[in-house]
Structure 1
């Protein structure tokens, strides 16, 4: 057609086999996920076979995929394994460990029982919610009424200092806590890790769950000095305990030990972090905390659980509490890449994309179509056609994220926590229609967060304590965006003081 652009035709075509190895590695490095790298490794000899030596008699170099995965791990500051599990190759092991990292990336938004935490793009921490135990009103956004304030329960929960007991908008913490990389929220306490590997904690100090050697409350973030100089890279928080992984991939725990959740073989509380000796000599890749129990995934893809066993939530086929990490035998022939714990139920995803659940089945939290308890992991049949890569669990609700960026939810629907526009329970997983391109999910006790696209944040569920961050105290049954598309959480804002204790978040055009 007249005026149409005429694209030049290439006379010469260069096959992939003619490209230098470094360029091929860059191509593999640009793949969106470890799953894509695994697929390429399984289908292309050019990328999966060792690179021939450059000189006669020399040693072959690692495969293109292995080189790309090693470079990706170094770019993300992930320590590479020094040894392989029996029967594994380097390429397959690196693919698996990066699948685990992608299933549980550094948490930039988390939800506790009645508060929420968010890391902005500049590494500053924000919080919202309430220290008080709220009454349980029926108000929603449409009712135009707000609940009573209730009574103070968890002092210091928000991290803004004494006297700040409720914030309905995500608000910058007025502290020296900078360069935050990941964060965790328990029911009455919080913890964060900074770029230098230091762990900070604050909130309700009962049972020593803050890790400072005492049970004192902390109204502002305080660094934990109990890791023997080691750098911490991952952290998880239960109702009254914490877990951490250091740069040597060893597991630490502290706080309430009455149900065995600390994994030290006893019921003792720990006021300071203590290494979990059961994992000595093993490489632990991921951790998670339920309300009263704990989870860990090792480099071999094995899942270990310990703590309170009510409802069968440990997955060992019985109701016996476990005081030292014990492998879940149901996954002996599979590799687990993601795990999450609710109040008394558990979720997992395996490398084949299957989703699993077990434990207390009340409110349909397991997603099997009924409310029966499951003593051992059972695959969620309703998600069999989806490739699940990550899971999240609240008190009675459950969530899954697929490789295609979809979010699914099921279980108890109180306060609209499932995101489907109502408060109905869902016995089977249902896709949340309002969301697409989901990159992360976070489940609190009765509220939920999602990150989509360019870190756009959404929240829904119980809002009477301000934990949804929308500037009010309404429940919401559908996801509502915290920051409009094209805007970012901006720190070069006019400093506004709330009784001399906190700064307020502003959204501004970049």
Structure 2
């Protein structure tokens, strides 16, 4: 009896319904399912158990997992069909797209754990599983290491006054914000504009400090703009605080807010699923795929075809007229980028230096499809100072715009050159890029193996290298381990 109990059981001996429960449990990704289908014959068959439109149990499992994805659940039937067609009828590829999009605005799963990278003006923040690291200039305390730390030449761990782990981080010009697993939000950095949300305290915040005004309002995402902050709650509401000169807080006026206030108009517009903050404007995507924008329209960043500031959220009609279901947006300093449910990319705003990727420097007053990438399946878009990055579902990256100290990663181009159309980042083609973030003059990417690469300006150690002034091509950044950080702190 004991020998029989300890006998190894082949997976082929298990009942099919139990195998299907394992495949569709949510613990396997698209790549895992593809490997199973390739390596084991039993997974390639349908066993007469599934509808004829699914050629294998793995395909049916992928379809089941797709239905559980939040992005897929929000799509109308026509958008689901379009996505499946774009993926060649392959549900594993649909699942890979959905999972990549879901992770693009938060942490990504790598073989080294969950990671997220975000780049600020002269600094970089990185989540690596339960720890958060920062490097670069600590102007106004933005690195979160205390008043005595002016600069970190390597990624150094930030200490938080609570046990809850950080699940999301945002870095901007001079302040940073962290969302905890508990839903609490911590901020640090320059608070002269009240963007840190701690009330009318004009002094700098040198260590991550919990926003008491958000107690009982759990958040899932935060976006830091220039002197203002946007919060997305678990129930899809939006809160804002800080400078409101152009209406970027969305309350219908120009009054600054020292603590986060609910953007009440969204209560009647539907649940918000993603937010982005530009220099002085805000973008928000609702569950139905509508993009709402408000704030400054100086560079046509609001996408309404004019240059009028919007004090309240306003839907971008260009998308709605064409039945385009947007799933993610990125707000640059002078331009914006959107990703739709079929993996197509749209840009608008100021076209200086080719930041919009259309082959010229013309401004676009409303979103325009990036035709040169139409045959590709994009999963993440990232815009900042006159440059744009687009990640594809195969792990490749494209970049265009202003080289700016080499921050596009093309070593054969000058540090102030312009790349007018999307160009593949061949220097990283041997790696699968899972996430990318670009700051003022530097860029950092994370691979599916948990490797971190940086390129561009490093004068203030924002790339985590002590002796380099800059990197014209991606260079690996070593993350200081926790025990090393503890030893350094004790010494």
Question: Which band: TM-score by shorter chain?
Answer: 0.7 to 0.9
Between the aligned partners of 2:50 and 2:283, the Cα distance in structure 1 is 35
- Equivalent residue in structure 1 for 2:141, among 146, 153, 156: 156
Which residue of the partner structure matches residue 397 of structure 1? 387
- Equivalent residue in structure 2 for 1:266, among 253, 272, 281: 253
Contact 1:203 1:210 in 2 (8 A): yes
Contact 2:387 2:402 in 1 (8 A): yes
Which residue of the partner structure matches residue 474 of structure 2? 479
Which residue of the partner structure matches residue 495 of structure 1? 486
- Equivalent residue in structure 2 for 1:203, among 175, 189, 206: 189
Q: What's the CA shift string for 1:93-130, capped at 9, x where partnerless?
A: x9898664233233721100111111223x22211111
Contact 1:296 1:303 in 2 (8 A): yes
Which residue of the partner structure matches residue 399 of structure 2? 409
Alignment of 1:270-419 (within 5 A): 270-281=257-268, 282-332=270-320, 333-419=323-409
Between the aligned partners of 1:34 and 1:314, the Cα distance in structure 2 is 40
Contact 1:177 1:221 in 2 (8 A): no
Q: What's the CA shift string for 1:193-228, capped at 9, x where partnerless?
A: 122111000000022100001232111110011224
- Equivalent residue in structure 2 for 1:193, among 179, 183, 186: 179
Deviation at 1:24, TM superposition (A): 2.6
Change (3 A) 1:162 1:303: same
Between the aligned partners of 1:404 and 1:361, the Cα distance in structure 2 is 28
- Equivalent residue in structure 1 for 2:121, among 113, 130, 147: 113
Between the aligned partners of 1:232 and 1:460, the Cα distance in structure 2 is 32
Deviation at 1:161, TM superposition (A): 1.2
Which residue of the partner structure matches residue 104 of structure 1? 105
Between the aligned partners of 2:80 and 2:298, the Cα distance in structure 1 is 39
Between the aligned partners of 1:288 and 1:115, the Cα distance in structure 2 is 19
Q: What's the CA shift string for 1:122-152, capped at 9, x where partnerless?
A: x222111114xxxxxxxxxxxxxxxxxxxxx
Deviation at 1:23, TM superposition (A): 3.2
Which residue of the partner structure matches residue 233 of structure 1? 220
Change (3 A) 1:482 1:26: same
Change (3 A) 1:158 1:85: closer
RMSD, aligned α-carbons: 3.4
Local SS of the residue matching 1:312: coil
Between the aligned partners of 1:250 and 1:97, the Cα distance in structure 2 is 23
Contact 1:233 1:247 in 2 (8 A): yes
Change (3 A) 1:356 1:70: closer
Between the aligned partners of 1:355 and 1:88, the Cα distance in structure 2 is 18
Between the aligned partners of 2:355 and 2:243, the Cα distance in structure 1 is 26
Local SS of the residue matching 1:382: helix
- Equivalent residue in structure 1 for 2:232, among 216, 225, 245: 245
Which residue of the partner structure matches residue 137 of structure 1? none
Q: Quick check: 1:457 aligned with 2:465?
A: no
- Equivalent residue in structure 2 for 1:128, among 135, 154, 157: 135
Gaps of 5+ in 2: 1-11, 35-45, 53-59, 84-93, 108-114
Contact 2:353 2:418 in 1 (8 A): yes
Between the aligned partners of 2:32 and 2:224, the Cα distance in structure 1 is 27
Local SS of the residue matching 2:214: coil
Q: What's the CA shift string for 1:55-88, capped at 9, x where partnerless?
A: xxxxxxxx97676457677xxxx9x98xx78879
Q: What's the CA shift string for 1:386-420, capped at 9, x where partnerless?
A: 11111101211110000110111110012001001
Deviation at 1:25, TM superposition (A): 4.6
Contact 1:48 1:64 in 2 (8 A): no
Between the aligned partners of 2:261 and 2:171, the Cα distance in structure 1 is 20
Local SS of the residue matching 1:495: helix
Change (3 A) 1:177 1:187: farther
- Which runs of at least 4 in structure 1 moved beyond 4 Å after TM superposition? 33-36, 44-49, 63-67, 69-73, 84-92, 94-100
Which residue of the partner structure matches residue 209 of structure 2? 222
TM-score, normalising length: structure 2:
0.80
- Equivalent residue in structure 2 for 1:466, among 431, 451, 461: 461
Between the aligned partners of 1:289 and 1:35, the Cα distance in structure 2 is 36
Between the aligned partners of 1:329 and 1:72, the Cα distance in structure 2 is 26
TM-score, normalising length: structure 1:
0.77
Contact 1:35 1:99 in 2 (8 A): no
Contact 2:155 2:480 in 1 (8 A): no
Deviation at 1:90, TM superposition (A): 11
Q: Quick check: 1:437 aligned with 2:432?
A: yes
Q: Choose between structure 1 and 2: higher helix proportion.
A: 2
Between the aligned partners of 1:196 and 1:369, the Cα distance in structure 2 is 45
Contact 2:66 2:98 in 1 (8 A): no
Which residue of the partner structure matches residue 39 of structure 1? none
Deviation at 1:459, TM superposition (A): 0.7
- The alignment of Structure 1 onto Structure 2 pairs a total of residues equal to 434
Q: What's the CA shift string for 1:7-42, capped at 9, x where partnerless?
A: xxxxxxx9x9x832x533532443428999xxxxxx
Local SS of the residue matching 1:205: coil
Deviation at 1:181, TM superposition (A): 1.4
